[in-house]
Amino acid sequence: MRPTPQTEQELLSRAHELAGLSLGELAQEAGIITPPDLKRDKGWVGQLLEWHLGATAGSKPVPDFIELGIELKTIPIGYNGKPLETTFVCVAPLIGLQGLNWENSHIRHKLAKVLWIPVEGERDIVLADRRVGSPLLWSPSPDEEQRLRRDWEELMDMIVLGHVEKITARHGEILQLRPKAANSKALTEAYGADGQPIKTLPRGFYLKTHFTAELLERYFILQ
DNA sequence: CTATGATCATTG
DNA sequence: CAATGATCATAG
């Protein structure tokens, strides 16, 4: 991969240089073969951009740019300019929740500073021809953080009370809880309704598309 | 198994 | 046709 940027400015200017380029061009520069589609390579776009921007974390549970405290997220955009998919943030803790609060939560730290990179995502555009958009460095506004916190507390309350299996993707205004697993047979431990341990699907926190659409829109309005 | 990176594909 | 629930690849 390319060298790790040492400053926020350097990271941003490098991200701006990628705007307008196609994934095929970026893959060629990186010496990577572009897969026919993303069916078996769902994280390919994200990893390609990591390479070009010099992200360091790999699969470690830390921000992509440790020194800068910045998380990198690619986001697929449709013809209407809006996100085509929800955005996975992190896995939800289901046990050992004593002392856990919003302030010290994994998700708050993950979302503290995010470099969003929109990428054309319509499936009828050949993967190699999809273009990268302009980057957006975002931190939650006070209002956004409050909404995130409200949703997080509602969801975590249900988990603590042993109601994790009653939670659907409809809970939460901007944050949702959904399965995050290899398949439906991968189980992890959680609290049951009687406080007894149960086995259930691992869950992840995802940002709903209407929220990420707001972010991008707010940014473009400011341009 | 959990963490990283997410999108797929069925359904309402 | 958007959204929910399910799934894919890889590293450790």
Residue nearest to nucleotide C4 (CA to C1'): A169
Distance, Å, A4 CA → C3 C1': 37
The answer to whether residues A57 and A68 touch, using CB atoms and an 8 Å cutoff, is no
From the alpha carbon of A168, which nucleotide's C1' atom is closest?
Answer: C4
Q: Which residues pair with A118 in a beta bridge?
A: A75
Question: Which nucleotide lies closest to A38 by the C1' atom and the CA atom?
Answer: B7
pLDDT at A172: 98
Q: What is the mean pLDDT of residues A104-132?
A: 98
Q: Which domains does chain A have, with CATH numbers?
A: 8-222 (3.40.600.10)
Average pLDDT of the residues in A85-94: 98
Q: Which of residues 57-116 of A touch strand B (CB under 7 A)?
A: 57, 59-61, 64, 71-76, 85-88, 90-91
Q: Is the CB of A39 under 7 A from strand B?
A: yes
pLDDT in tens, A10-33: 999 999 999 999 999 999 999 999
The type of residue at A116 is: W
Residue A57 has pLDDT above 80, yes or no: no
As beta bridge partners, residue A206 has A88, A176
* Contacts of A223 by beta carbon, 8 Å cutoff, 6+ apart: none
Find the Å distance, CA of residue A58 to C1' of nucleotide B4.
6
Give yes or no for a contact between A74 and A49, defined as CB atoms under 8 angstroms apart. Answer: yes
Q: Which pLDDT belongs to residue A62?
A: 87
Closest residue by C-alpha to C1' distance, nucleotide C3: A169
For A158-186, the pLDDT digits (tens) are 999 999 999 999 999 999 999 999 999 99
Structure confidence at residue A222 (pLDDT): 66
User: Token pair of A50, please?
Assistant: 């990591």
Q: Is the dihedral of CA A53, A59, A63, A68 positive or negative?
A: negative
pLDDT mean across residues, chain A: 96
Q: What Å value separates CA A161 and C1' C5?
A: 22
Amino acid whose CA is nearest the C1' of C8: A40
Nucleotide nearest to A127 (CA to C1'): B7
